[in-house]
Every structure is written in structure tokens, then in C-alpha cells.
Amino acid sequence: MNPQINQETFITTITTWYKNNRRSFSWREHITPYHVVVSEIMLQQTQTERVAQKFPSFIAAFPDFTTLANASFADVLREWKGLGYNRRAQALCKIATHVVNDFDGQLPNDPEILKTLPGIGPATASSIVAFAFNKPTCFIETNIRTVFIHFFFKNEHKVTDKQIMPLIQATIDNKHPREWYYALMDYGVMLKKEIGNLNKQSAHYTKQSKFIGSNRQIRGKILQILLDQPGASLHTILTELQEEPSRVTRILITLEKEHFIKNHHDGWWLNSKS
């Protein structure tokens, strides 16, 4: 660990920079628990700029948990198009349904409860509580990790989140955790642009697999075909995809098991609900 910087200097450096460089996003300017949940799920594995483009239209189409819970999965996928990782859209629909049915439409402010909902792990649960309710929870994501590696582990490799977490706990602003995390994340984005990907020094770093030609790409194409042509036959799907039939069949079966699609009268359809 870098012994040349103390926590007070670190906090001052981040907050001073943030005052003049704060990024503005619609989910930051109009904060509701629902907006936070949607943005946090969207931001998983997707660039902020792309989410910033999609978020307003998604919120316009589905302005609250109830609307989203009652929406057809096809309509949600249409709005989700361009964000990728469609499992997140499915999880978001399920989250909305749980909030409406199990919590009277009010998002719980306890990370332990949020962790029980689909698509929400420990870090996402804590980030939702920090941003939606301004409660001082502790979590690590890629930009926050970048900042702490830069200041405290600059020349080290295989840095673990277990090493970083005590520093996050020690430096969090207990009165204004939401703005403090915004500051950390914005500073991390700046570091990536100016220095490069410091997350390569993390023990948890993994290189993202190629999208072109992947099963993930074919899954997305299948869902798009069924959006455009509900009830498409296997022959139609194979003709559209021009991929190995056995591979496509395996992916169709997997999508069916995951409740994305269903087979009915020799045609494939999106499930009406996720």
C-alpha cells in the first residue's frame, strides 16, 4: 500500500476535483428508488454513454415499478434494444414484479433484502441503497476500484477487493454517501481516460470475451427475430441466422429453459412475461 498518501488528503483530492467535474445524468438529477434500480441494472456491463441514451426512453415507456411489472416482455425488450445482456431486462421485470407484489410497490432500503431479488448481487444491492436512499453502505465497482488502486496500490498487482474494502469503509462520507460515490466513480472514469485501465492490477480482472460470433450474439439475434416475427418456425430462424443448426437448436432450448421464449404449434414465441 502507498504510505505517502493519507486518507484525509485522498478525500480532499477527490472532493475538490469533483466540484468542477461532476457528470450529469438523468438518473442523478431526478432521483427515485425506481430510477436508481433501472440505472444500476442498465449500467451492469454497459458503458455509461449508452445507458444515458436509452434511460430516458425506457423511463418514458415504463415510468414506475407497477408499469414495468405489468408490461409484456416483448415491449420491455424493444425498449432495451441496444443495451445487450438481455438477462438484465428479464431480471428488471422480475424485480418490478417482486416490488409490486411483495413490498406494496415500495423498494426495500435494506441490502440484505435486495440481494434476494433477481439480478441483484451484494455490490448492486449496496449501491442501490446508497444512491436511492443516501445510506452509507459500502460497495466496490470498476471505477471505484480504479480510484483506490491508483491512490493506495499504485505499483502493486493482484490487488484484492478485500484489501480495498477497509479503505472504502474508512473514507466514506456518512452524511453524503451518494455524492461521495458519484465523486469516486467520476474520478475513476477520468483516470481510465488519462492513465488507462488500472483494473488490470486487480486480482478480479477478467478480459471480456468477444461478442462477434458468440452464443450471446446469437441469443440476441433470436430474440430480435421473435420480436419481429412472433411464432417464427425453426426453419425461419435458421434461414435468418445462417448458423450451424445444432448450435441454434441448443441455444433455443436454453432460452426456453430460462423462460425467455416458448415453443407452441411448431413456432417460437417470446414469453409474454419474463
Active site residues: 40
Cell 441503497 -> residue: 129
* Residue at 50: amino acid letter: R
Neighbours of 47 (CB within 10 A): 10
Distance between first and last Cα of the chain = 46
Neighbours of 27 (CB within 10 A): 22
Percent helix / strand / coil, the chain, rounded to 5: 60, 5, 35
Query: Are the CB atoms for 69 and 100 separated by under 8 Å?
Result: yes
Torsion sign across C-alpha atoms 102, 106, 112, 117: positive
Nine cell digits for residue 38: 433501472
Query: Are the CB atoms for 154 and 201 separated by under 8 Å?
Result: no
